[in-house]
């Protein structure tokens, strides 16, 4: 059996062998993608050659960008304007195609056209539309992604003429040519000595530097002015070491390159990438003896950083928040680095989640048999098998205000560093605030598909995570989702909402009513609004004489749902707003981005129609505990059952209320008759309840995206696609529906490995403790392009007063349980006149209130208990107060939070 090799990866090969193998791969038919990579201490490189002609099918992996057209001019070139609900992402030179354009139909020919002068909501089209029809309305413009052909040079040629290097750190723009020279010199050193340089050996370092000088002299126009002997010394000292963070980082990059070679998706690395992290070295000078091996598993790390930093790593007390994709990688890295593996060390990992099947592709410490188990426990156990000396404690607590009794003052104050491995912004912000409060370094990272970012939050040196945030994701207005969708995301959002309403919330409401009818009725009457009326109508529909008792009833329910959703509601909508309807100012109502809908005519011959009925009836039966017959999956028998359902004729309502206000937060309009309707519904419900068997309950269905046999995604995909068909929106397959409706954040192992490797390089700096701000690096990277952008963190904003200064990192501490008078005096001594002191939401003191002067000789802590009614937990040793101050010139001064210690 012949094996077709598409890509090979060489690690630690000498240059002559690599050139020979690369020549074979380059000239092979078809060419074999060749990737060479080396990690030497804090230095690494990658070389890629994917052959003489390699076609990239999709350069960036992003979905083609689209825009909804608002107008097109009859010009040369034509100006195209789009609606302003979403910025255009086109770039000059992009090719686009048009569809659904009314009037100027010549553009609907599917021919790709080039765009220029791109703006957020407009662009010019390289097309003379002077003689085209006049634009009327509608139209979608879609980017056409073009393949790209790359011509790689073989290693033999590229070594001499490397071209442009892929840059990672703009502070080191001149570094890649030097590292290119350094690795060539190292190859010559190994060829001559038969070994790599010894750690800490000045003699070997000087030999390497001499070889680099000689090579530099032969470079001609590429000769470097400075070969940086100090950098080459570091390179020589660590040449024998493969450090875990470097291996993780380069493994992530190379892994993605292999995928590119085999799939043609994403732009390959072209062709050399060099990287170093010499900033991770200890700040204090090291003696040759510091690098001496100790006959431990950490000798490679010691050969780069010395034994003192290794001891700091082992004694570190680290808090890892999260043990999912990032968390698993971090646990592996930390165990291999020896972090928290000493007698004084401790690694605490917490995660309140359990392992799901979909986690297994990237959360590599988990296996099939771990599904359903606690993530933190399984991950910690796997990390222990990597390094039995790891002192790890696994918790299942969510980190938040509700668990401050677990993660208390003593816990936070004892930490050396905090590492976030979270997947949501709110949790990140909370941990960030805790790190600010206790002045602990926070190492933050995140991934999104092939993209990743890292941020170092270092006490008193950098700004905190919450100081700069991305704007929140734009949410589609309620009326758009429910009545005027114009893309598949809107349809899937609606489908997910309907699924939860029909199959989870309504059965739960039924059970709430049946558990305590009088209390439920009282709650509905007290609410007295449209939402209460809607809830009761849904509950009544489940308990009335027409409730489902057989599977045929469930089919009837699903068939009538189809008619309601995809025929009647659309007929009502276009009855209320006909195609020629106008707004109050005379503009066409159905103008972009609104799409005019068309009702569906049910047909048992349409597989997608039948699939909706099948999924809906099966799930409806599950909520009622009705057995599902085997024949439901037989299209012919299912069609026969559906044909038995009598569907009433539709009659439009003349006074139907359809919300069109984009700012509306609810689609139910309040009515003065709500109270009367609620009473009538409750009366009907009471009558129905008497006809139910004792103990009758429904089974709410909680959406689970990862079980392919439960029909949840079948139902949601069918709901969304039928709705998309109403509005002539392109439909999606079940996998794409799962991705959007399941709100899946795309995660791949390669970008996760890259992010955690970069963070662990920063951890060396954090645990060493002597680094300046300019030594740290924040990173944004995307493996798709590939692109790296490393920069030093932003310093925190500084507030100055007299000879003092402080930042967001400062918290003033006042000990010995002072009185209010003593606290005011303490501030006055700093030139600050406090006019207001508050604790929580309660005011303890204000200089404007005469009665507050009676509180002057009371302890601040006692005032908080007495006035603010604050109960101070037994584990808490201090109380925080917010003080508003002025200077002597009556200027407001923002002072830090003040902590009053009473123990």
List active site positions. Answer: 479
Using left for φ > 0, alpha for ψ between -120 and 50, and beta otherwise, residue 822 falls in alpha
β-strand pairing of 54-56 with 66-72: unpaired
Sign of CA dihedral 729, 731, 736, 742: positive
The rounded distance, in Å, linking the Cα atoms of 682 and 679 is 5
Give the DSSP letter of residue 502. Answer: I
The rounded distance, in Å, linking the Cα atoms of 327 and 248 is 14
β-strand pairing of 95-99 with 140-144: antiparallel
Quick one: 651 exposed, middle or buried, by C-beta within 10 A (0-12, 13-18, 19+)? exposed
**Rounded (to 5) percent helix, strand, coil in the chain:** 40, 15, 40
The rounded distance, in Å, linking the Cα atoms of 216 and 745 is 48
The rounded distance, in Å, linking the Cα atoms of 622 and 586 is 50
Backbone angles phi, psi at 26, to 5 degrees: -65, -40
Paired tokens of 699 = 């089974």
DSSP state letters, 200-268: T-HHHHHHHHHHHHHHHHT-GGG--S---HHHHHHHHHTTT-B-HHHHHHHHHHHHHHHHHHHH-BSPP
Q: Are 601 and 567 in contact (CB under 8 A)?
A: yes
Cβ-proximal residues to 565 (8 Å cutoff; 6+ apart), any chain: 498, 719, 722, 723
The rounded distance, in Å, linking the Cα atoms of 658 and 76 is 42
Q: Which long-range contacts (CB under 8 A, 24 or more apart) does 813-819 make?
A: 813/878, 813/898, 813/899, 813/901, 814/898, 814/899, 814/900, 814/901, 815/901, 816/901, 817/859, 817/860, 817/861, 817/900, 817/901, 817/902, 818/859, 818/860, 818/900, 819/856, 819/857, 819/858, 819/859, 819/860
State the Cα torsion 260-266-268-274 to the nearest 10°. Answer: -110
The rounded distance, in Å, linking the Cα atoms of 821 and 620 is 68
CA–chain centroid gap for 658, Å, is 35
Query: Which of 483, 612, 44, 470 shows the shortest CA–CA distance to 274?
Result: 44
The rounded distance, in Å, linking the Cα atoms of 722 and 773 is 56
Q: Are 417 and 767 in contact (CB under 8 A)?
A: yes
β-strand pairing of 95-99 with 113-116: antiparallel
Interaxial angle between packed helices 551-563 and 607-624, expressed in degrees from 0 to 180 and rounded to the nearest 10: 130
Helices (H), 389-529: 409-413, 425-438, 478-483, 488-500, 506-515, 517-527
Question: How far lies 534's CA from each of 189, 469, 530, 568, 668, in Å?
Answer: 80, 38, 6, 19, 8
Give the DSSP letter of residue 576. Answer: H
Q: Are 252 and 750 in contact (CB under 8 A)?
A: yes
- Please state, as a whole number, how many other Cβ atoms lie within 10 Å of the Cβ of residue 368: 8
DSSP state letters, 720-751: HHHHHHHTTPPP--HHHHHHHHTT---B-HHH
Paired tokens of 751 = 């970008």
Q: Are 28 and 7 in contact (CB under 8 A)?
A: no
Q: Are 331 and 383 in contact (CB under 8 A)?
A: yes
- Please state, as a whole number, how many other Cβ atoms lie within 10 Å of the Cβ of residue 330: 32
């Amino acid at each position: 059996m012949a094996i077709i090799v598409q890509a090979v990866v060489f690690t630690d090969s000498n240059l002559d062998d690599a050139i020979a193998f690369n020549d074979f791969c380059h000239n092979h038919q078809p060419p074999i993608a060749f990737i060479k990579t080396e990690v030497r201490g804090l230095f690494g490189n990658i070389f890629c050659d994917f052959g003489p002609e390699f076609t990239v099918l999709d350069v960036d992996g992003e979905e083609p960008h689209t825009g909804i057209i608002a107008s097109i001019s009859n010009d040369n070139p034509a100006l195209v304007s789009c609606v302003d609900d979403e910025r255009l992402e086109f770039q000059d030179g992009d090719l686009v195609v048009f569809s659904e354009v009314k009037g100027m139909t010549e553009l609907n020919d599917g021919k790709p056209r080039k765009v220029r002068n791109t703006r957020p909501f407009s662009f010019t089209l390289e097309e003379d539309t002077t003689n085209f029809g006049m634009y009327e309305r509608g139209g979608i413009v879609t980017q056409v992604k073009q393949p790209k052909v790359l011509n790689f040079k073989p290693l033999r040629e590229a070594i001499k003429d490397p071209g442009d290097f892929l840059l990672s750190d703009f502070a080191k723009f001149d570094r890649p040519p030097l590292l290119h020279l350094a690795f060539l010199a190292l190859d010559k050193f190994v060829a001559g000595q038969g070994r790599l340089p010894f750690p800490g050996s000045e003699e070997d370092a000087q030999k390497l530097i001499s070889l680099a000088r000689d090579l530099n002299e032969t470079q001609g126009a590429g000769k470097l002015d400075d070969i940086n002997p100090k950098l080459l010394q570091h390179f020589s000292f660590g040449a024998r070491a493969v450090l875990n963070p470097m291996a993780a980082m380069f493994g992530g990059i190379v892994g993605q390159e292999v995928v590119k070679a085999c799939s043609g998706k994403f732009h390959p690395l072209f062709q050399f990438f060099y990287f170093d992290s010499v900033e991770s070295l200890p700040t204090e000078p090291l003696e040759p003896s510091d690098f001496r091996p100790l006959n431990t598993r950490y000798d490679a790390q010691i050969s780069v950083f010395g034994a003192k930093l290794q001891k700091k790593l082992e004694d570190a007390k680290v808090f890892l928040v999260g043990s999912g994709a990032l968390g698993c990688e971090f646990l592996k890295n930390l165990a291999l680095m020896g972090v928290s593996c000493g007698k004084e060390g401790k690694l605490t990992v917490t995660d309140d989640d359990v392992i799901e099947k979909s986690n297994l592709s990237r959360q590599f410490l988990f296996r099939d048999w771990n599904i359903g188990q606690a993530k933190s426990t399984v991950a910690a156990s796997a990390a222990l098998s990597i390094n039995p000396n790891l002192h790890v404690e696994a918790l299942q607590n969510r980190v938040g205000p509700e668990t401050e009794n677990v993660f208390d003052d003593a816990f936070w104050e004892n930490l050396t560093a905090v590492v976030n491995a979270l997947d949501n912004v709110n949790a990140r912000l909370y941990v960030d605030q805790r790190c600010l409060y206790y002045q602990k370094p926070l190492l933050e990272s995140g991934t999104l598909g092939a993209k990743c970012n890292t941020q170092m939050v270092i006490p008193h040196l950098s700004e905190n995570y919450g100081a700069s945030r991305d704007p929140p994701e734009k949410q589609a207005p309620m009326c758009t989702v429910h009545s005027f969708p114009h893309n598949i995301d809107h349809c899937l959002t609606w489908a997910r909402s309907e699924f939860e309403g029909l199959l989870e919330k309504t059965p739960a409401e039924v059970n709430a009513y049946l558990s305590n009818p009088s209390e439920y009725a009282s709650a509905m009457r007290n609410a007295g609004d449209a939402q209460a009326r809607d809830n009761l109508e849904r509950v009544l529909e489940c308990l009335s004489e027409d409730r489902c008792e057989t599977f045929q009833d469930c089919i009837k329910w699903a068939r009538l749902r189809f008619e309601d959703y995809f025929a009647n509601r659309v007929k009502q909508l276009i009855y209320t707003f006909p195609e020629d309807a106008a707004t109050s100012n005379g503009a066409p109502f159905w103008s972009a981005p609104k799409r005019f809908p068309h009702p569906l005519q049910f047909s048992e011959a349409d597989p997608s129609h039948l699939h909706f009925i099948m999924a809906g009836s099966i799930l409806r039966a599950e909520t009622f505990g009705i057995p599902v017959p085997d024949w439901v999956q037989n299209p012919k028998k299912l069609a026969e059952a559906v044909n038995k359902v009598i569907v009433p004729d539709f009659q439009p309502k003349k006074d139907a209320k359809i919300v069109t206000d984009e700012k509306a937060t609810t689609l139910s309009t309040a009515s003065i008759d709500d109270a009367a309707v609620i009473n009538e519904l409750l009366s009907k419900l009471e009558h129905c309840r008497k006809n139910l068997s004792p103990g009758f309950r429904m089974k709410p269905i909680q959406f689970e995206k990862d079980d392919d046999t439960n029909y949840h995604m079948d139902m949601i995909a069918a709901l969304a696609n039928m709705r998309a068909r109403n509005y002539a929106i392109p439909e999606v397959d079940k996998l794409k529906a799962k991705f959007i409706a399941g709100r899946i954040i795309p995660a791949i192992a390669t970008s996760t490995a890259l992010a955690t490797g970069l963070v662990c390089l920063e951890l060396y700096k954090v645990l060493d403790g002597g680094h300046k701000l300019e030594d740290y690096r924040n990173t944004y990277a995307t493996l798709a392009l590939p692109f790296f952008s490393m920069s030093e963190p932003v310093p925190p904003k500084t507030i100055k007063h007299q000879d003092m200064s402080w930042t967001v990192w400062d918290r003033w501490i006042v000990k010995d349980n002072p009185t209010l008078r003593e606290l005011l005096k303490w501030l006055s001594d700093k030139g600050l006149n406090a006019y207001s002191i508050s604790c929580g939401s309660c005011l303890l003191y204000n200089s404007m209130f005469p009665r507050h002067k009676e509180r002057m000789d009371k302890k601040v802590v006692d005032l908080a208990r007495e006035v603010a009614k604050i109960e101070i937990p037994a584990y808490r040793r201090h109380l925080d107060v917010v003080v508003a101050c002025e200077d002597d010139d009556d200027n407001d001064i923002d002072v830090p939070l003040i902590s009053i210690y009473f123990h």
